[in-house]
Copies of this chain bind each other. A is one copy, B any other.
Amino acid sequence: MNALGTFPGTVAIVGLGMVGGSLALRLREIGARVIGIDIDRETIAAARARGAIDSGSEDLGAAGEADLVIIATPLDRIATVGVAAARRMRAGALLTDVGSVKAPIVAALAAAVPDGVHFVGGHPMAGNEKQGIAAADASLLDDRVFVLTPTSRTAEVALATMRTVVMRLGMRPVVLDPLQHDELVAQVSHLPYLVSVALSRAVADDARSIGGPAMAEMTRAARSPAPMWTAICRANRDAILRALAQFEHELGRVRHGIEEGVLVQ
């Protein structure tokens, strides 16, 4: 467990997008040495230019130097990249990720991580509709929830270390079962996005031009990257369909209220 005791120590972040980049910026602020790993050389150069990383590599082997490895790739790559990273990590080091859907990732990684490497699934609930290292901003993390999803096999010291990491990031640790996490984010994150998409589509262009602040803020989420959301909707399909059904039920009640002329709230 030596590596865990050294935090902030050395942290490798795999995937330098908006979330990975924001974590990198904050980790450097709090004194960590940050290794940025990305498949795209220009992204690494941009991260270095922004001061988000101390060093960069296109090689996952660089994760072997880290006490903490954070997988921040697109959702549908996290399990594969996480397993590959875990095989290169030093004994006692800690692996986490930032995936928006936890049950499939936790199942895949918990089964594949070698003995001596600790894994705790994570989901920093931060960000906006942008993407890429240019959109990275440490302040996006401030006071946001960072969900941790340990399993019965997670070592207590690993969870305790992740709690410390999250608090040092300026975020709020919330511990949830992976399936419970997926059910809740279907409601508070995935459903709002899908509602925002449907609202954007439902409104005619000539109407949009006179839209007030409510319309602007309710369609902002719909502008976030479609491929990311497609991956989320595939990974969390059943919970999302349950949340949608509940929303449609409530919308039906609202419609009924309008038809009858009664209070809608």
Contact = CB atoms under 8 A, between A and B. Distances in A.
A207 interface: yes
Interface string A190-215: 01111111110111101111111111
A51 interface: no
Given A215-B192, A217-B218, A218-B217, A184 B202 contact: no
B202 A188 contact: no
A243 interface: yes
A213 B213 CA distance: 16
A78 interface: no
B234 A218 contact: no
Given A210-B174, A259-B241, A254 B198 contact: yes
A204 B246 CA distance: 10
A92 B258 CA distance: 40
A188 B217 contact: no
A251 B145 CA distance: 28
Question: Which of A204, A212, A237 has the most CB atoms of chain B within a 10 A radius of its CB?
Answer: A212
B125 A202 contact: no
Interface stretch (A28-36, A130-138, A219-227): A219-227
A247 interface: yes
A182 B120 CA distance: 52
A212 B126 contact: yes
Interface in A145-197: 145, 147, 174, 176, 183-185, 187-189, 191-197
Contacts of A251: 194-195, 198, 244, 247-248, 251
A263 B214 contact: no
A233 B203 contact: no
Nearest to A213: B128
B248 A261 contact: no
B218 A203 contact: no
A214 B230 contact: no
Given A196-B218, A203-B187, A222-B265, A125 B210 contact: yes
Given A125-B212, A230-B261, 12 more contacts: A127-B212, A144-B212, A145-B210, A176-B210, A188-B207, A217-B220, A230-B265, A233-B258, A244-B255, A244-B258, A247-B251, A248-B251
Interface of A: 125-128, 144-145, 147, 174, 176, 183-185, 187-189, 191-199, 201-204, 206-215, 217-218, 220-222, 226-227, 229-230, 233-234, 237, 240-241, 243-244, 246-251, 253-255, 257-259, 261-265
